[in-house]
């Protein structure tokens, strides 16, 4: 089973630009997509829930101070 982590971002006009936020997330391995979510991260096989929680912490650290709100959802396919 493979896992994917989706992220939805809400930008703030007083924060960083959308392009800067997208670049930061792409540096973590996210890819832009269209639809209900803004980006997706595709895990290698063998990733666990513990890995997903670690990654959510990494996203939080990467976006800290940029005045964005984000929502993540990790699913197994």
pLDDT 10s digits, 2-46: 899 999 999 999 999 999 999 999 999 999 999 999 999 999 888
Taken in order 32, 34, 40, 44, is the CA torsion positive or negative? negative
Q: Kindly report the pTM of this predicted structure.
A: 0.92
Q: State yes or no: pLDDT of 1 exceeds 80.
A: no
Question: What pLDDT does 46 receive?
Answer: 82
Question: What pLDDT does 45 receive?
Answer: 83
- Kind of pairing, strands 31-32 and 3-10? unpaired
Domains and CATH numbers, the chain: 3-76 (3.30.70.930)
């Amino acid at each position: 089973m493979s896992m994917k982590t989706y992220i939805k971002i809400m930008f703030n006009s007083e924060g960083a630009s959308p392009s800067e936020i997208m670049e930061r997330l792409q540096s973590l391995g996210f890819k832009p997509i269209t639809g209900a979510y803004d980006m997706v991260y595709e895990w290698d096989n063998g990733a666990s829930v513990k890995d997903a929680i670690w990654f959510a912490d990494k996203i939080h650290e990467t976006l800290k101070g940029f005045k964005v709100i984000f929502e993540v959802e990790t699913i197994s396919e």
